[in-house]
Amino acid sequence: MEKIKKIYLMTDLEGVAGVLDFENWCSPGARYYELAKEFLTLEINAAVEGFFEGGVKEIVVADGHGPGAINPKFIDSRVELLRGWPCGWPLNLDKSYDAVAWVGQHAKAGSEYAHLAHTQSFKYIDLSINGISIGEFGQFAMCASELRVRAIFGAGDEAFTKEAQNLVPGIETVSVKRGLTPGKGDELTTKAYSRRNYGAIHIPPERACKLIRDGALKAIKRAENEDFGIIRLDPPFERVAKFRAGEEYPETISRETHPSSVIALMNMPFNPKPVKKN
């Protein structure tokens, strides 16, 4: 296998150790938002340390949290920071990268025993491509696979790590917390679901960073000797998105297809229609 020299590191906030809930930790102006950004930046730096120790020469870190969640002042000086994707999917990823990785990633909507699980927003019940249920991780991993860029590492809550392992056999993962809420919650409204998955047991941030650093290094070493990280994609592609009901709008479903490209499909607008009830 070829050496991993250039990595695209996608990040999010809800999957970070010590980020306890959405209201107080994940939105600008929230009580602990700046501390959450610090925790994420520390986890990023830990992964970066492991990657560079493993021989990586270039890392671009993407801030993937909606309002932003990285503190540029404290990020490792060896990386470049990416924020904003004016051309849509695949979020500035191209074939110049050897691998993609994730830090702070949460599980997809409807995941059991997850912490702060959602897909883009709490409005989603499910998103699937060709019948495979995916979240934010899966969407980007599939785009990477279309470009033949390997998915080698992911850190986040335990439900996310299981999701990643099921979609990308062989991917190296690190769990930094585990959710405590059973069931999927598909029957809930958007508002109710947004407050559903708050129970979790967290690893302290310092220990989480050590696990992430070691996991990133292990992923690099394995990737040099093992063939993993590419999802099999079989066209044509169908995307199905199911959206929750709210107080003033019904549950809806959207279906779109593309004959040859997951990336093109991901860039197609949704066309949601009310779900017909028996």
Whole-number pLDDT of residue 278: 65
Instruction: List, for residues 73-108, the tens digit of each pLDDT value.
Output: 999 999 999 999 999 999 999 999 999 999 999 999
Q: Return the closest-CA partner of residue 154 out of 128, 129, 136.
A: 136
Instruction: List, for residues 220-236, the tens digit of each pLDDT value.
Output: 999 999 999 999 999 99
Tell whether pTM > 0.85.
yes
- What is the domain partition of the chain in residue ranges? 6-223, 237-274
Whole-number pLDDT of residue 212: 99
Structure tokens at 16: 């970070």
Whole-number pLDDT of residue 269: 97
Whole-number pLDDT of residue 45: 98
Does residue 200 sit in helix, strand or coil?
strand
| 3-state DSSP percent of the chain in helix, strand and coil, to 5 | 25, 25, 50
Main-chain phi, psi angles of 253, to 5 degrees? -140, 145
Which strands make up the sheet holding 124-129, listed edge to edge?
132-133, 124-129, 237-243, 252-258, 273-274
HEC profile of 182-236: CCCCCCCCHHHHHCCCCCEEECCHHHHHHHHHHHHHHHHHHHCCCCCCCCCCCCC
* Fold annotation for 6-223: Rossmann fold (3.40.50)
- The DSSP bridge pattern shows strands 124-129 and 237-243 to be antiparallel
**Strand ranges inside 130-167, DSSP E:** 132-133, 150-157
Q: Which positions of the chain have pLDDT values less than 70?
A: 278
